[in-house]
Amino acid sequence: MGCAGASDDEVVAPVVKTEPVEVTESTQNETAPVPEEMKEDISVTPTPVEIENLSIRIIEKRSHSKDAFSQGFEFSGDRLFESRGLYGESGVSEIDPSNGEVIQWLPLGDEFFGEGLTVLEDTLIQLTWINGVAYVIDIETFAVINVFDYEGEGWGLCFDGELLYMSDGSSRLTVRDPDSFLVVDEIPVMRNGVPVQAINELECVGDDIYANVWRTNDILMIDRSSGNVGAVIDGSGLLTAEEAEFADVLNGIAYIEESETFLITGKLWPSMFEVIFE
């Protein structure tokens, strides 16, 4: 398969055993009881959030490896990186953004299922699904230089220049320190007051986080500070019927800073698309 198998001279990311990171939940603040005579005057009215419904305008359609089970998609300058999933086929690749051809490839061990990916300065950070391990990879040499442990599942990951944002398939994002990977905050993601489940691949852009929602064609634009969904982008109909026959779900959002456009793809998609959300 394109680059899912490891040859004899390829380096397989080592399994580094470290002690689990202990995350201490903050103590809930105690609140003084409300006097009975005041209760009738108290009401809670949710603030309505106006959600835009956006569509996708295709700028260019490009080739993408139909063997790539895309889990993370990220530009660093004009270089494009992709995380792949599936047991025995997971790893990180640098690919040619014009045609999807593999430039570099670092396979994971067969017991790992690769997930979200982000660029942090001169490194890549790749999550694993249920192994509780995040690999820190040198962006030039593709050598594993550090390993973070975490609890729970790993799905999507992005970096806003200061903090990491991670999804785990639930309706919340954890905010993490980039040096220690410790949780420093949590953000509940709400769509018109309703929690959004199965948040997947993430892309930090300005004050927003763009997110795929697993098993849907939706891309959400989430306000980073409030967690409210400000826009829903309809990603349906990108593939032809023939292309969609063997493809899996939409998953992969990479922001192109120079043109202010996005490159999007999906798991086992034979194509990727430079697009504008409008």
36 vs 189: which has the higher pLDDT: 189
Query: In this structure, is residue 7 part of a structural domain?
Result: no
Task: Tell me the C-alpha distance between 160 and 45, whole Å.
Answer: 32
Give the pLDDT mean for 162-182.
98
The number of folded domains in the chain is 1
pLDDT at 41 over 90: no
Structural domain contains residue 14: no
Asked if residue 26 has pLDDT above 60, the reply is no
Confidence of residue 14 (pLDDT cuts 50, 70, 90): very low
- Contacts of 214-219 with CB under 8 Å at 24 or more apart are 214/155, 214/169, 214/249, 214/251, 215/249, 216/249, 216/250, 217/250, 219/250, 219/253, 219/264, 219/277
pLDDT of 265 strictly over 60: yes
Percent of the chain with pLDDT over 70: 83
CATH code at 86?
A: 2.130.10.10
For 54-109, what is each residue's pLDDT tens digit? 999 999 999 999 999 999 999 999 999 999 999 999 999 999 999 999 999 999 99
* Strand ranges across the sheet with 172-176: 157-159, 164-167, 172-176, 183-188
Specify if 44 maps to a domain. Answer: no
78 neighbors 119 (Cβ within 8 angstroms): no
* Domain presence at residue 158: yes
- Give DSSP secondary structure letters for 136-167: EEETTT--EEEEEE-SS----EEE-SS-EEEE
Range of the domain at 98: 65-277
Report residue 50's pLDDT band, with 50, 70 and 90 as the boundaries.
Answer: confident
pTM for this model (two decimals)? 0.82
Local confidence band at 22 (pLDDT 50, 70, 90 cut-offs): very low
**Residue 152 near residue 128, CB atoms below 8 Å:** no
Q: Please, which pLDDT band fits residue 48 given cuts at 50, 70 and 90?
A: low
Which amino acid, one-letter code, is at 22? Answer: E
> Is the residue at 210 inside a domain?
yes
The reported pLDDT for the residue numbered 141 is 97
Q: How confident is the model at residue 47 (pLDDT cuts 50, 70, 90)?
A: low
Q: What is the mean pLDDT of residues 198-217?
A: 97
- Nearest 5 degrees, angle CA 19-CA 21-CA 23? 155
- State the average pLDDT over residues 222-242: 96
Q: What's the chain's average pLDDT?
A: 87
pLDDT greater than 90 at residue 19: no
> Is residue 95 included in any domain, yes or no?
yes
Question: Is 134 inside a domain boundary?
Answer: yes
pLDDT band at 44 (very low <50, low <70, confident <90, very high): very low
In a domain, 36, yes or no: no
State the pLDDT at residue 42. 35
Q: How far apart are CA 185 and CA 176, in angstroms?
A: 7
pLDDT at 11: 40
